[in-house]
Amino acid sequence: MMGLITPIMLVAISVGAFMFYIDPTYAEIRTLQSDVEKHNEALTKANELRQIRTELSDKRKEIGDDKIERLLKLIPNNLDSVRLILDLDALAIRYGMRLADLTLEEKPDAVPQGELASVDVNKYNSINIGFSVKGTYKDVRAFIRALESSLRLVDIESISFGQEGADGTYVFKLDLKTYWLK
């Protein structure tokens, strides 16, 4: 009988050890291995992103600060309405005029139709600027040409003018639209 109890006890101890120690430990090891795989994937992705960041940084250095500054003037990262108005006024002063009756109106962008429907309107904002200037036709035409060739992206939406004054000048009303990145 003694010979039979020893193997049964060893089997019972083995089953108990498996159920209460080996199986839970093995399950914990599988969980830890899964976590290690997830962390390795995250490290691989982080290394890929670090490499992409380095490549983009190198490309940005190739562009040069002067060209970046020109791009930011074309479509700035934020709206600096005071700087914009000062730039427009300085441009008008070069042609002997001053801005008057200034209005700023930020409108939500309409959803484009037709060919422009593929443009993502969520990437930029726009603002409508209205003002008037008093000057000769020649001066206003030169001002508009300078505005067209300036680095700042500006759409002239409308131009109107009144009756000629005694000094040969007109009052021109201009409505512009300019943009900045969101």
CA dist 118 → 3, 115, 122, 157 (Å)? 86, 7, 12, 22
Specify which of 25-39, 59-73, 160-174 reaches the highest per-range mean pLDDT: 25-39
- For the chain, helix, strand, coil in percent to 5 are 60, 20, 20
pLDDT at position 10 over 60: yes
Instruction: Verify that 136 and 169 share a domain, yes or no.
Output: yes
Instruction: Verify that 109 and 173 share a domain, yes or no.
Output: yes
The answer to whether position 84 is within a domain reads: yes
Instruction: Verify that 24 and 98 share a domain, yes or no.
Output: no
Band of residue 54 on the pLDDT scale cut at 50, 70, 90: very high
Band of residue 82 on the pLDDT scale cut at 50, 70, 90: confident
| Arithmetic mean of pLDDT over the chain | 83
Q: Average pLDDT of 48-68?
A: 87
Instruction: Say if residue 68 is exposed, middle or buried (CB neighbours under 10 Å; 0-12, 13-18, 19+).
Output: exposed
Q: Can you say how many angstroms the Cα of residue 95 is from the centroid of all Cα atoms in its chain? A: 35
Instruction: Verify that 80 and 29 share a domain, yes or no.
Output: no
Residue 37: Cβ within 10 Å count: 10
Band of residue 120 on the pLDDT scale cut at 50, 70, 90: low
Q: What is the pLDDT of residue 80?
A: 76
Q: What is the CATH number of the domain that holds 118?
A: 3.30.70.60
CB 124, CB 113: distance < 8 Å: no
pTM of the model: 0.56
- The parent domain of residue 29 ranges over 2-63
Looking at the 3D structure of the chain, how many domains does it have?
2
CB 159, CB 172: distance < 8 Å: yes
Instruction: Verify that 93 and 140 share a domain, yes or no.
Output: yes
Which of 13, 44, 63 is the endpoint of a domain?
A: 63
Instruction: Verify that 78 and 59 share a domain, yes or no.
Output: no
Instruction: Verify that 113 and 166 share a domain, yes or no.
Output: yes
Instruction: Verify that 80 and 58 share a domain, yes or no.
Output: no
CB 174, CB 134: distance < 8 Å: no
The answer to whether position 87 is within a domain reads: yes
Which of 29, 63, 97 is the endpoint of a domain?
A: 63
Band of residue 49 on the pLDDT scale cut at 50, 70, 90: very high
Instruction: Verify that 144 and 171 share a domain, yes or no.
Output: yes
Q: Which residues contact 41 (CB under 8 A, 6 or more apart)?
A: none
Instruction: Verify that 58 and 79 share a domain, yes or no.
Output: no
Band of residue 94 on the pLDDT scale cut at 50, 70, 90: very high
The answer to whether position 69 is within a domain reads: no
Output 5 or 111, whichever has higher pLDDT: 5
Q: Average pLDDT of 63-67?
A: 80
pLDDT at position 111 over 70: no
Q: Taking CA 117 as the corner, what is the angle to CA 111 and CA 123, rounded to the nearest 5 degrees?
A: 65
Instruction: Verify that 171 and 83 share a domain, yes or no.
Output: yes
The answer to whether position 38 is within a domain reads: yes
Output 153 or 137, whichever has higher pLDDT: 137
Q: What is the pLDDT of residue 1?
A: 63
Strand, coil or helix: what is 99?
Answer: coil
Instruction: Verify that 46 and 99 share a domain, yes or no.
Output: no
List the one residue out of 103, 122, 136 whose CA is nearest residue 179. 122
The answer to whether position 68 is within a domain reads: no
Instruction: Say if residue 160 is exposed, middle or buried (CB neighbours under 10 Å; 0-12, 13-18, 19+).
Output: exposed
Q: What is the pLDDT of residue 43?
A: 94
